Amino acid sequence: MSTSTTDNTADNTATPAPETFEYRAEMKQLLHLIVHSLYTHEEIFLRELISNASDALNKVRFRLLTDRDIVDAAAEQRIDIQLDEKEQTLTITDTGIGMTREDLISRIGTVASSGTQAFVEELKKKKDGPLNAELIGQFGVGFYAAFMVADRIVIDTRHADPDSTPLRWTSDGAGSYTIEESDRAARGTQITLHLKEDKDEFAKTWRIQSIIKKYSNFVDFPIHVDGEKVNTVAALWHRPKSELKEDELAEFYKFIASDSERPLGHLHLAIEGVVAFRALLFVPKKAPQGMFREDFEHGLHLYSSKVFIQDDCKSLLPEYLRFVRGVVDTSDLPLNVSREATQHSPVMAKIRKTLVSKLLGMLAEWAADEDQERFNTFTREFGPLFKSGLSSEFEHRDELTELIRFESTHNREAGEKGKMTSLAAYVDRMQEGQKAIYYILGDNRQALERHPSLEYFRANDIEVLLMTDPVDAFIVPGIPKYKDIELTSVEKSDLKLDDKKKKGGLSKKEAGKLIDRIKSVLGDRVEDVAPSERLVDSVATLVTGKAGMDAQMERMMRMMDENFTGAKKVLEVNMRHPLMKNLAALRSQPGRENDVEAAIEQIFAGAQLIEGTLDEPETLVSRMTELLVQATRPDAEASETEA
């Protein structure tokens, strides 16, 4: 509903009075919901107003390509913000296309359209959950966000058409708005917010500058606050790849990532198709601190037509790529999309799929390069997190599997950087007739290279992957095979090993009797006792039964759950070792039962110590001391004791 009056001046010139438009009941509901429910942060209002100003400037820029007959054709295209702390006002002015009377009703009042009721109902239903992004995008609710901080808004505007009439729009966001003629001569729009009493922060220069740098730093047009230009960084992702210089990219990366070093590499994308978007992504040179913490923020910023939507955008990349920094800009998302809505958006899902594929492709190029130092750096810094993707990634599992790297016995220089291997390289080096890819889990390379379970493989020159990253224990189940070749732990009890070079062990009968004796001493502390084919120099080792976990996996489970109890292990003993031969001979001597039992206990405790599961090291030390006492007695005393 609208009303208007006429004022007759002394010279009989008729000046139209303000025309008042009443908001409908559902419009009032909508304004209430916008102010109290739609946005999480009040500062968003400025982003909305700057976005509208940028759109208006884009329109006039486009028109000027073919039509110079407009108001102020030579005017600089810019956005100005004036603040008045005393009057508590914020005024934003643009030299854009401006608005007609019809625009003020249909565009500024878009939310008053016939679909308002549906939008109100949707907001009511979704106020505690994700809003429908497409529905939000159908309405011009962005401007009305300003009522979160203002109790009165005045718009002065003049359209670019030469015969346009300057107009003023005024509203308190409650029951109505008015439209009247104004004395504005310049092209464009000026919006003045009369701030609420408790919103005086938005009349302060530092506050407005910080909001612009956060949300609107890459808007195409210069933004001035009280005469000072604020947005000083160019939106490089909108420029052609061929025009970008390495120094520009490095400085841009440092700005968005708050990093002092240049990036390890970057990826520039301009995708057209079902979903159109641009992206500029960077891989840091060093892993950021706290990368494995749950509250670590993702590094991608989401934009809509150069206007900031959100940082820490978790929907754009999976967790194992959360170290990537950069920006993604798409016009296929509405500006008012909420964080919750992005998580459920099909647009975001398509962008994410493309980003992951392109990033993995870039890493594959690094890995295939003759100079692989960049990929080696990436592996050192991000390998553990990157590998974790194998436990959750299904669509890109094959690409991930090709890119993960492990230490290996192929490189004997323990701990030397840059000497990691891929599964593909391992397979290329496999011996003829080798049927498995062998690996062992542990804390560090030095400890693993001394592990008894490697002795057979070292003696037979069979390569073993040394999995020293904590995450390795969790990803191995995700790659049971590579190119139809099984990944097999060297700590498994059911390994099929064959070494014809080994001779000189106990006879089968003697070995059987000794094993029975060991079983009787250890009882149910072990799953089984068996002769070993994998041991060369060591006397014994604990290996995993058919249904058990690797020792490293069990250690990690105990770290997560102090009440965790691992499965019993199989004790493998080396029947070619001198100690086992001595025990076999000693077992039949009268009065030496205690010595045999003590030796067996010490052998078992030693195996537990190497595995990291020994609960009472003081018992081992005490028993070892006693054995040393006996071994170091003078011959006369030993003879007397034996007699």
CA dist 151 to 22, 223, 362, 444, Å? 17, 25, 52, 65
d(CA 107, CA 120): 18
According to CATH, the topology of domain 236-368 is Ribosomal Protein S5; domain 2 (3.30.230)
CATH number of 405-489: 3.40.50.11260
Name, in order, each residue with C-beta under 8 angstroms of 572's C-beta and a sequence gap of 6 or more. 493, 529, 530, 531, 532, 534, 535, 540, 541, 542, 543
**pLDDT of res. 600:** 92
Name, in order, each residue with C-beta under 8 angstroms of 346's C-beta and a sequence gap of 6 or more. none
Task: Check pLDDT > 50 for residue 23.
Answer: yes
**pLDDT of res. 378:** 95
Q: Do 509 and 549 touch, CB atoms closer than 8 A? A: no
Higher pLDDT, 139 or 214: 214
**pLDDT of res. 27:** 65
**pLDDT of res. 8:** 42
Task: Check pLDDT > 60 for residue 10.
Answer: no
DSSP-derived secondary structure for 109-141 = TGGGSTTHHHHHHHHHHHTTS---HHHHHTS--
DSSP-derived secondary structure for 550-586 = PHHHHHHHHHH-TT--PPP-EEEE-TTSHHHHHHHHH
Cα–Cα nearest to 330, from 358, 359, 301: 301
| Residues 316-375: tens digit of each pLDDT | 999 999 999 999 999 887 666 666 666 678 899 999 999 999 999 999 999 987 668 899
Q: Do 320 and 393 touch, CB atoms closer than 8 A? A: yes
Please count the CA atoms within 13 angstroms of the CA of 177 that sit on its side-chain side.
26
Task: Check pLDDT > 80 for residue 484.
Answer: yes
**pLDDT of res. 13:** 53
| Residues 244-271: tens digit of each pLDDT | 999 989 988 988 887 889 999 999 999 9
| Residues 70-116: tens digit of each pLDDT | 999 999 999 999 999 999 999 999 999 999 999 888 777 544 343 44
CATH class of 2-229: alpha beta
**pLDDT of res. 7:** 45
**pLDDT of res. 353:** 94
**pLDDT of res. 331:** 86
Task: Check pLDDT > 60 for residue 12.
Answer: no
d(CA 135, CA 119): 7
Q: Where are the alpha helices (DSSP H) in 107-238?
A: 116-126, 133-137, 205-215
Angle at 470 between CA 289 and CA 462, to 5 degrees: 130
d(CA 506, CA 514): 10
Q: What's the whole-number mean pLDDT along residues 590-608?
A: 89
Residues of the chain with CATH 3.30.230.80: 236-368
Task: Give exposure, 374-398, as e/b (b: 16+ Cβ within 10 Å).
Answer: bbbbbbebbbbbbbbbbeebeebee
d(CA 308, CA 90): 21
**pLDDT of res. 220:** 82
Q: Do 399 and 360 touch, CB atoms closer than 8 A? A: yes
Higher pLDDT, 468 or 22: 468
The residue count of the chain comes to 643
Residues of the chain with CATH 3.40.50.11260: 405-489
d(CA 172, CA 169): 11
Provide the percentage of residues in the chain whose pLDDT is more than 70: 83
Q: Where are the alpha helices (DSSP H) in 271-345?
A: 339-343
CA dist 11 to 8, 16, 17, 182, 202, Å? 8, 15, 16, 19, 44
| Residues 192-212: tens digit of each pLDDT | 999 999 999 999 999 999 999
Higher pLDDT, 469 or 114: 469
- The β-bridge relationship of strands 485-489 and 436-441 is parallel
- The β-bridge relationship of strands 150-158 and 528-531 is unpaired
**pLDDT of res. 114:** 39
Interhelix angle for 346-368 vs 373-387, to 10°? 140
**pLDDT of res. 431:** 92
Q: Where are the alpha helices (DSSP H) in 420-526?
A: 423-429, 445-449, 455-459, 472-475, 508-522
d(CA 282, CA 299): 9
E strands, 45-130, where?
79-84, 89-94
**pLDDT of res. 183:** 94
Range 367-376, long-range pairs (CB < 8 A, 24+ positions): 367/402, 367/403, 367/422, 373/418, 374/264, 374/265, 376/417, 376/418, 376/420
Residues of the chain with CATH 3.30.565.10: 2-229
Return the SS3 of 353. Answer: helix
Task: Check pLDDT > 60 for residue 137.
Answer: no
Cα–Cα nearest to 225, from 341, 79, 101, 343: 79
**pLDDT of res. 343:** 67
Ordered strands of the 299-304 beta sheet: 265-271, 277-283, 325-330, 299-304, 307-310
Name, in order, each residue with C-beta under 8 angstroms of 571's C-beta and a sequence gap of 6 or more. 518, 522, 526, 528, 529, 530, 540, 541, 542, 604, 607
Q: Do 543 and 529 touch, CB atoms closer than 8 A? A: no
Residue 603, phi then psi, degrees to nearest 5? -60, -45
Centre a 10 Å sphere on the Cβ of residue 415 and count the other Cβ atoms it contains.
12
Cα–Cα nearest to 317, from 256, 401, 392: 392
Q: What's the whole-number mean pLDDT along residues 408-426?
A: 74
Q: What's the whole-number mean pLDDT along residues 19-23?
A: 84
**pLDDT of res. 627:** 83
Task: Check pLDDT > 60 for residue 448.
Answer: yes
Task: Check pLDDT > 50 for residue 4.
Answer: no
| Residues 362-397: tens digit of each pLDDT | 999 999 876 688 999 999 999 999 999 988 888 899
Q: Do 304 and 329 touch, CB atoms closer than 8 A? A: yes
How far the first Cα of the chain sits from its last, in Å, is 122
**pLDDT of res. 68:** 93
Q: Do 541 and 572 touch, CB atoms closer than 8 A? A: yes
Q: Do 168 and 156 touch, CB atoms closer than 8 A? A: yes
pLDDT tier at 225 (50, 70, 90 boundaries)? very high
Task: Check pLDDT > 70 for residue 601.
Answer: yes
Higher pLDDT, 291 or 93: 93
Task: Check pLDDT > 90 for residue 494.
Answer: no
Distance of CA 191 to the CA centre of its chain: 40
Mean pLDDT of the chain: 84
**pLDDT of res. 265:** 95
Q: Is the pTM of this model over 0.85?
A: no
Provide the percentage of residues in the chain whose pLDDT is more than 90: 43
d(CA 98, CA 58): 11
Higher pLDDT, 307 or 637: 307
Ordered strands of the 150-158 beta sheet: 2-3, 19-22, 176-181, 167-171, 150-158, 188-195, 89-94, 79-84, 223-225, 228-229
Architecture of the CATH domain 508-642: Up-down Bundle (1.20)
Residues of the chain with CATH 1.20.120.790: 508-642
| Residues 527-586: tens digit of each pLDDT | 999 998 888 889 999 988 776 776 667 766 766 777 777 778 899 999 989 999 999 888
For 523, counting Cβ atoms within 10 Å of its Cβ (0-12 exposed, 13-18 middle, 19+ buried), the class is exposed
Q: Which amino acid is at 157?
A: T
